[in-house]
Structure 1
Amino acid sequence: MAKFSIIPKEEKFFDLIEVSAANMVKAAEALKDLVENWGEIHEKVLKIVELEHAGDSVTHQIIAMLHRSFVTPFDREDIALLAHSMDDVVDFIHSAADYMLLYKVGQPGGRVRELAGIILEATKEVAAAAPKLRQKAGLKQLLEHCIEINRLENLADQAYRSALVELFEEYDMVDIIKWREIYDSMESATDRCEDVANVFEGVALKNA
C-alpha cells in the first residue's frame, strides 16, 4: 500500500531547511567547544563527523524532494543552492576539526578561537533567518539577518588575514602549513554562510 503524507510538501522543504540550519549551529558549537576546551580531541572530532553525516542526510532529502516535486515554495535553483551551501558550512567545520586531529596540533591560539566564535554567530544568524522563509511577511526581516551574516563574514576575513600574518611571524614552516589548512577551512565556512545569506537575499527580493 502506498504511503501518503498529510504534511504539504512545501512545509517539508521548510522543515528540512530549518533542520539543516540547526545542524550547522550544532557543528559550530562543537567546533567552538573543541578549540576552547582542548582535550578529548578524537571524541570531539567524532561528534563533528556525526553532525557532518547528519547534514549530508538532510541535504540528500531536500534534493530528492526537489526531483519528486512539481511545485516548490521558491525557485528550485535557490533551494538546491541553499541546501548545498548549508551542507558546505558543516563540511568545512569538519575539515578544520579533522586537520587539528590529523596534524596533531597543539592547543589552538586566539585567532582560532576568534574564528570559531564568528562561525558560531554566523550559523546562529542562518538558523534564526531560516523560519522567515515560510511567510511573505518574514522576508523583510530575512534581509536583516543577511546584513549581519555579511558583517560577520567581513570580520572573519580580517581575523583570517591577521592569523596568516602571525603565522609567518611566529611559526616554522611545518606549523605554518598545518595551521594554514585549518584557517582556510574555517574562513571557508564563513564564506559559505555568506553564500547562504546571498540565497536568502535573492529569495526575499524575488518574493517580497
Structure 2
Amino acid sequence: MLFGKLLPRDGNFFELFNQHAAYTVEAAKAFSQLVANYSNLELRAKYNEMVDKAEHDADRITHEVNRAIHVTFITPIDRDQIHALINTMDDVADLIQDSAETMALYDVKHITEEITRLAELGQKCCERVQHAVSLLPKIAEPATTEAALKTCEEIDQLEGDADRVMRMAMSKLFRNDSIDAKELIKLKAIYELLEIITDRCEDVANVIEGIILENS
C-alpha cells in the first residue's frame, strides 16, 4: 500500500493536453494571419516565427507527456489512449508548421481564396479540438459527454467542408490553362497540406470519441 502511495499518480495529463491544444490554436491563428498578410514581407516573417514558436512549444508538451507515461504509476485514462491522443494532436501542429515552411520554400507568389478558406477551416478545427480536449476531465458527467461528442461532430463537419473546398480548388487549378506549371505544382502541394490539417483534427476527434465511449 505504501509503495503505491509513493509512486506518481495521474501525471497531470489533462492539463498537458490543454496546453498542447492551446499552442496548436496559436499556430493556426498565426498561420491564418500569415495568409492574410502574405503580401507584407515583414508581417509574413513575423507570423512565420510565431508559427514556429507555437509548434516548438507544442512539441515540448508532447515530449513531456510521452515521458510522463513511463514514470506515472496510475494514469487517468489508458496509456495507449494518452499516447494516441498527444501524438495525433502533435501531427496537427507539425502540419501547420509544414504548411508555412512549404509556402516559403516554394516561394508561392500569391494567396488564392482557396488557401484563405482552408486556413480558416483549419483554425476552426483546431479551436474545436481545444474545446473537446478541455472537456475530457469531466467526461463522467453525461452533459459533458454529450457536449464533447457534439464538438467532435462539428470537427467532422469542418473536415468535410475543407475536403469540398480542396476538391473545388483542384478542379479550378487544373482547368486553368493559363497557369504556370510550376505555380500549379506549388498550389497543389499547399492545398493538400492544408486539407490534411483538418484530416488530422478529425483523427483527434476520433481518438477523443474513443476515450469518451470507454471512460464515460
- Counterpart of 1:105 in structure 2 is 108
Q: Find out whether 1:118 has 2:129 as its counterpart.
A: no
Q: Percent identity?
A: 37
CA contact (8 A) 2:9 2:73 kept: no
Counterpart of 1:44 (choices 43, 47, 51) is: 47
Q: Deviations over 1:20-70 (max 9, x none)?
A: 111111111011101112222223212211111111100000000001112
1:133 offset after TM fit, Å?
0.6
Kindly indicate whether the alpha-carbon contact (under 8 Å) linking 2:89 and 2:204 is maintained by their aligned counterparts in 1. yes
* 2: CA distance, partners of 1:163 / 1:143: 30
Name the residue aligned to 1:30.
30
Structure 1: segments with no counterpart, 5+ residues: 1-7
* Higher deviation after alignment, 54-63 or 164-173: 164-173
Amino acid paired to 2:167: R
Equivalent residue, structure 2, for 1:147: 153
| Greater displacement, 55-64 / 168-177 | 168-177
- How far 1:10 moved relative to its partner? 2.4
CA distance in 2, matches of 1:169, 1:95: 27
- TM-score, normalised via structure 2 length: 0.89
Match of 1:66 in 2: 69
Partner secondary structure for residue 166 of structure 2:
helix
Number of residue-to-residue matches in the alignment:
201
The counterpart of 1:166, out of the listed 147, 172, 191, is 172
Q: Helix, strand or coil for the counterpart of 1:10?
A: coil
Deviation string, structure 1 residues 164-199 (Cα, Å, up to 9, x no partner): 111112322211111111111111111110011001
Q: 1:105 to 1:13 in 2, by over 3 A?
A: same
Mapping for residues 126-205 of structure 1, pairs under 5 Å: 126-135=129-138, 136-137=140-141, 138-170=144-176, 171-205=179-213
User: Cα deviation per residue 1:87-146 (whole Å; 9 max; x = unaligned)?
Assistant: 111111111111111111122111000001101111111111112110211222210110
CA distance in 2, matches of 1:9, 1:195: 28
Amino acid paired to 1:64:
R
Q: Partner letter of residue 10 of structure 2?
A: E
Query: Which structure is larger by alpha-carbon Rg, 1 or 2?
Result: 2
Contact 1:23 1:55 in 2 (8 A): yes
* Residue number in structure 2 paired with 1:54: 57
Q: What CA distance in whole angstroms lies between the structure 2 residues aligned with 1:121 and 1:11?
A: 29
Task: Compute the TM-score of the two structures, normalised by the length of structure 1.
Answer: 0.92
Q: Is the 8 A contact 1:35 1:107 kept in 2?
A: no
Runs of 4+ in 1 over 6 A off after TM superposition: none
* C-alpha deviation, 1:11, in angstroms: 6.1
